[in-house]
Structure 1
Amino acid sequence: MQKETSTEWPIDEGYGVCRLSLATVYQEPRPGAGLVTQLLFGETYRVLEADPSKRYLRIESHQDKSQGWLVTAQHHAIAQEEFDAFNDSDYQLTTSPVSHITFKNQKIYLLPGSHLHVAQNELFDLSQSLQFSGSSRPRSQKADRDELMEIAQLFINTPFLSGGRSFFGLGAGSFVQLVYKIAGYKVPKFLSQLLVFGQKVEASAAQPGDLLIFYNEMQLPEHMGLYLGDEQIIHMKGKVRIDKISFAPKSGQKNISGFPNVHEVRKLI
């Protein structure tokens, strides 16, 4: 793991890296505030400011540029040089449903999509100070469409949680983004951004992994999911699930999936 320098006391501006299994980013700097997003182990962020009490830091996630408030006690400061190195160099992405590292005789459990920043010429430092148990893949190794769908199906039955980014709860956009992230690709998580990302293709040319976008009766985009093939979609509907769809439902009828017709198919890779 790359060497880090950190400060014990919080800072008003700077950089940080998540050193917990999962860290929550809130809409407001107060207990009980709504969820904006979550950080997985190894993900980095910029510190924008501290609230007057110094108990919360407003941050911007490097992963998707989401901004919100992180509990200061969960902040792990790093220098800008380390921030740049973590994001520019190759690193491992965890793929096991649950894996863990043992660092300085303390165990930290890791969720899928966590980052393992490693030294340039070694995979892992399997010394007494750091041990990794689980499976991972290099960020630079791009998954093919079959692997992409295998990753997506790891999240079957994960419950809906707006802003969530783990097995304990996922947002609809976070599901799409996290699947692609583990597969080695960077895609947006918000539907408004996905509407202009990638390439629009005809329904007849849809392939597994393509994004299906559903519009409502007012012709406004309202839902999305990933095409599995064989007229099936894997998507978030209360939980991550697989449903049958029809690309050409009869006029006035809802899709088999329970949503109006597939309005658009977008190729993301």
Structure 2
Amino acid sequence: MQKEKFSEWPLTDVFGICRQTILPIYRQPTFDSALVTQLLFGECYRVITVSNDQQWFKILYEDTGFSGYIPSKLLKEIPANDYQIYLTNDFQIVTSPIAAIEYLGTNLYLLPGSRLHFSDLELFNWRDHIGFTGSVRSHAFRADRDQLIEIATKYINSPFQPGGRSIFGLDEEQAFPLIFMIAGYAWKAGKLPGKMVAAEEVLPGDIMILTESNIEKQRFAIYLGAEEVLWMDNRMRVSDFDEWLSFAKNIPGKQLVLESRSILD
């Protein structure tokens, strides 16, 4: 029997929110497809297409620019007005390795980067109205260098996972934007944030980038001070700068360009 050709239809004004610990986003509309990314509890997205059998939605996560497919049964739709409010208003962002919230009558575990859409500017204390355990910070207040490093080092020993955005699995290209997002800074996919700084001016919390110019691949590290950097091979780790540089250069034929950028200043 000839396999039916997949087709999809554009949608407008359809928006959703992640209401589970991790929401996987697939490259193709099938469960055996590769992961593009993952969404964490409270992160919002825009629905851009639906499959003709209405079993899959293609979504766009505007904070990073990544798009991919989710099964229709995992769509948690929200009104367009709420979507805009959630994108522009302050929210609490989870910083503890594991947190928990009472949701639909049971405890739901939350990971770093999960969002609770309450503001520190509210007239009431939101903690008095929901059951929550863990630590959070207000996204409206950007972290300083020490706070950023504290956030980043919580990911030490997190294993590599393509498309991963959690302490249980991280994609290198998404791990560092996630860390800076938790700290209150934006970093869209494919766009380097902040401004370039000279090597002798690098400060703790600055990002270091090695670009493999021949294949347009980038490796990242966060400078921790005292010649130490946080970076990823098969896991997130801390080493001295020279070890990171040697690891990136260990394949012959690479043409590497090193630059440093400050996002915090």
Aligned counterpart, 2:145: 145
Matched, 1:156 2:166: no
Does structure 1 conserve the Cα–Cα contact (< 8 Å) formed by 2:213 and 2:257?
no
Q: 1:126·1:132 contact (CA, 8 Å) conserved in 2?
A: no
Q: Which residue type is aligned with residue 123 of structure 2?
A: N
Measure, in 1, the Cα distance between the counterparts of 2:257 and 2:207: 10
Structure 2 residue aligned with 1:228? 224
Which 4+ runs in 1 deviate beyond 4 A? 216-221, 254-257
CA distance in 2, matches of 1:234, 1:170: 13
- Distance apart, 1:231 and its partner CA: 1.2
Q: From the superposition, tell whether residues 62 and 204 of structure 1 become closer, same or farther in structure 2 (CA, over 3 Å).
A: same
Partner of 1:59: 59
Q: Deviations over 1:86-135 (max 9, x none)?
A: 111111001110001113421111000111012743342534xx311111
What is the RMSD of the two structures over their aligned residues, measured on CA atoms?
A: 2.1
Amino acid aligned to 2:247: G
Q: Please give the per-residue CA displacement for 1:66-90, whole angstroms capped at 9, x wherever unaligned.
A: 1100121111000000001111111
Identity of aligned residues (%): 33
Q: Does 1:200 align with 2:196?
A: yes
Letter paired with 1:105: G
Q: Deviations over 1:184-223 (max 9, x none)?
A: 11123x4x421xx311111111111111112448596531
Partner of residue 167, structure 2: 167
Map of 1:268 onto structure 2: 263
CA contact (8 A) 2:36 2:67 kept: yes
Structure 2: distance between partners of 1:149 and 1:85: 29
Q: CA distance change for structure 1 residues 219 and 25 in 2, over 3 Å: closer, same or farther? A: closer
Deviations 1:22-61 (A, max 9, x none): 1000001012011111101000000111112212110001
Aligned residue runs from structure 1 range 1-269, under 5 A: 13=12, 14-118=14-118, 120-124=122-126, 126-127=128-129, 130-188=130-188, 190=189, 192-194=190-192, 197-216=193-212, 222-246=218-242, 257-260=246-249, 263-269=258-264
| One-letter amino acid matched to 2:181 | K
Deviations 1:214-267 (Å, cap 9, x if unpaired)?
244859653111111111110111100012114xxxxxxx86541237711111
Deviates further, 38-47 or 226-235: 226-235
Unmatched runs of 5 consecutive residues or more in structure 2:
1-9, 250-255
1:193 counterpart SS class: coil
Aligned to 1:6: none
Judge which range, 90-99 or 177-186, deviates more: 177-186
- Whole-angstrom CA distance in 1 between matches of 2:218 and 2:95: 30
Q: Return the alpha-carbon distance in structure 1 between the equivalents of residues 215 and 30 of structure 2.
A: 38
Going from structure 1 to structure 2, the CA distance change for 1:121 and 1:71 (only over 3 Å counts) comes to farther
Corresponding position of 2:7: none
SS at match of 1:177: helix
Change (3 A) 1:107 1:126: same
* Distance (whole Å) between structure 1 residues aligned to residue 222 and residue 237 of structure 2: 11
Distance 2:196 2:94 in 1: 30
* Structure 1 unaligned blocks of 5 or more: 1-10, 247-253
Please say if residues 94 and 110 of structure 2, whose CA atoms lie closer than 8 Å, have aligned partners that are also in contact: yes
Q: Which amino acid counterpart does residue 206 of structure 1 have in structure 2?
A: V
